[in-house]
């Protein structure tokens, strides 16, 4: 069964450094998402992406965050200058026709900011 | 009022029990309802997806939606130790193109 893959599984970074989280969505999917889950808290929406542009973003997704689909298979989340509070699990998801079809999630990248 | 409310548990049941997991939501514009299962250090795994009031069954799992009460449920029949996980309800907001998650209910099935 097709799946969403994320790399790396764990990223440790010094505060203030840039980090790029990578995702390969399911191949025929058109809608891409990033969510995060701080330890012990809810899964929270960050951003949705369709047709090479952001379609929605949350208040969390400020100027320090950016997303890109650099080629036909990858979808990345960049955090420019990491803060301690960026420590969380980051999940990538994709769906084929948008919200009317369910989103499928990867296993996440655990980001630890020191 | 929170958009999606879910009792975090933990809920502990013996093997073979029927489990009932529930969420309430506040926005009547919500249309699409999902249940995900999440094992430790893994991503949410889709279990059930529905968009209408009523019941939807898939093996041992039944999803129930009551739009008039803004209430959704997941029932697990003949629960197994392998069902031990966190269960997340999630509702799709079309105008925001995002999923809104409940807090997740931790389920432990004892053998």
Greatest alpha-carbon span in chain A: 39
- Predicted pLDDT of residue A113: 97
Q: What pLDDT, in 10s, does the model give residues A102-112?
A: 899 999 999 99
Q: What pLDDT, in 10s, does the model give residues A26-85?
A: 998 999 999 999 998 999 999 999 999 999 999 999 999 999 998 888 999 999 999 999
Put simply, whether B59 touches A (Cβ < 8 Å) is: no
Q: How far is CA B70 from CA A45, B51, B99, B103, in A?
A: 21, 12, 16, 17
Nearest-Cα residue of chain B relative to residue A10: B41
Residue B93 is part of which domain span? 4-110
CB contact under 8 A, B101 and A99: no
Cα Rg, chain B, nearest whole Å:
13
Kindly report the three-state secondary structure assignment for every residue of B51-84.
Answer: CCCEEEEECCEEEEEECCCCEEEEEECCCCHHHC
d(CA A72, CA B88) in angstroms, rounded, equals 31
Using DSSP, state whether A38 is helix, strand or coil.
coil
Contacts of A100 in chain B (CB under 8 A): 32, 51, 92, 94
CB contact under 8 A, B98 and A110: no
The count of domains in chain B is 1
Distance from CA of B97 to the nearest CA of A (A): 6
Domain borders along chain A are 5-113
In CATH, what number does A5-113 get?
Answer: 2.60.40.10
d(CA B96, CA A13) in angstroms, rounded, equals 31
d(CA A95, CA A39) in angstroms, rounded, equals 25
pLDDT in tens, chain B (111 residues): 678 999 888 999 999 999 999 999 998 877 799 999 999 989 999 999 998 889 999 999 999 999 999 999 999 999 999 999 999 999 987 777 789 999 999 999 999
- Which class for B96: exposed (0-12), middle (13-18), buried (19 or more C-beta within 10 A)? middle
Q: Where are the beta strands (DSSP E) in A39-80?
A: 43-50, 53-57, 65-68, 75-79
d(CA B21, CA B74) in angstroms, rounded, equals 5
Q: What is the CATH number of the domain that holds B55?
A: 2.60.40.10
């Amino acid at each position: 069964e097709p799946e969403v893959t994320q790399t790396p599984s764990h990223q440790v970074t010094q505060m203030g450094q840039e980090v790029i989280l990578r995702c390969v969505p399911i191949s025929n999917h058109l809608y891409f998402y990033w969510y995060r889950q701080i330890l012990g808290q809810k899964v929270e929406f960050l951003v949705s992406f369709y047709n090479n542009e952001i379609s929605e973003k949350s208040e969390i997704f400020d100027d320090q965050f950016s997303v890109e689909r650099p080629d036909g298979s990858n979808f990345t989340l960049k955090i420019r200058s990491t803060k301690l509070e960026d420590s969380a699990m980051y999940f990538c998801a994709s769906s084929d026709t948008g919200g009317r079809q369910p989103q499928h999630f990867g296993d996440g990248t655990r980001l630890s900011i020191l | 009022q929170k958009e999606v409310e879910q009792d975090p548990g933990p809920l502990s049941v013996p093997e073979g029990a029927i489990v009932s997991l529930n969420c309430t939501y506040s926005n009547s514009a919500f249309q699409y309802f999902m249940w995900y299962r999440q094992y430790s250090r893994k991503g949410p795994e889709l279990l059930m997806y529905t968009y209408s009031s009523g019941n939807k069954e898939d093996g041992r799992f039944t999803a129930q939606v009551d739009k008039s009460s803004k209430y959704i449920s997941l029932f697990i029949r003949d629960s197994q130790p392998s069902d031990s996980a966190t269960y997340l309800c999630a509702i799709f907001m079309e105008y925001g193109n995002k999923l809104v998650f409940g807090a997740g209910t931790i389920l432990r099935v004892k053998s």
